Amino acid sequence: MRTKILGFMAFLLVTVLVLTACGKKMSESEYFEQAKLQEQNEEFEAAVDSYLSLYKRFPSGEFGDEALFHAAIIQANILKLFENAIETHDRLLKAFPESKYTHQSLFMKGFIYANDLNNYVKAEEAYVEFLTKYPNSELSTSVEWEMKNLGKDINEIEFLSSDQADSLKAER
């Protein structure tokens, strides 16, 4: 019951924001707050629309890179709109090359190509670009592992070498 009340209250807040926005233009932070609220309320399509609208209205604004990143993550992970997610990651990479989200976007681009679209050529291109630009990133190990296992069936991937398995057994 509490969840329904909170959901209804959130709906009312979004409605008020939208209605008041009709009379005046929303600021960048208002767009961002609206999108975050929609995302929290699992209104994922509306959240993506709000994040992308924010970027279109304020292309060099304070929240543009974060808005694109959130939109791309929702598109891929929740809405399963993989091609759209790639396009959104590409927008972020082009518009905000120095963003704190750039290395994550490039990683996710390769990950989507490899694991969702099975386009291993594009995945490898993204991963090679990642390793060239961000060799010291905390994601580099994951990129190297992904590249080593591109296109392999889950049963073909050696998760633990026999030495690692033996040392785990010895610890028990």
- Determine whether 5 is exposed, middle or buried from the number of CB atoms within 10 Å of its CB (0-12, 13-18, 19+): exposed
Q: What are phi and psi of 63, to 5 degrees?
A: -110, 5
In a domain, 90, yes or no: no
pLDDT digits (tens, 9 = 90+) for 85-117: 999 999 999 999 999 999 999 999 999 999 999
> What is each CA distance from 111 to 17, 131, 172, in whole angstroms?
36, 14, 34
Same domain, 73 and 126: no
Rounded to an integer, the average pLDDT of 23-32 is: 85
Coil, helix or strand at residue 69? helix
The torsion of the CA quartet 29, 88, 80, 44, rounded to 10 degrees, works out to 10
pLDDT digits (tens, 9 = 90+) for 47-91: 999 999 999 999 989 999 999 999 999 999 999 999 999 999 999
Dihedral sign for Cα 44, 46, 52, 54, please. negative
In a domain, 30, yes or no: yes
Same domain, 73 and 118: no
Coil, helix or strand at residue 59? coil
Same domain, 32 and 76: yes
Average predicted confidence (pLDDT) for the chain = 85
CA-to-CA distance for 10 and 153, rounded, in angstroms? 44
Rounded to an integer, the average pLDDT of 34-49 is: 97
Same domain, 110 and 55: no
Which residue range is the domain that position 134 belongs to? 101-155
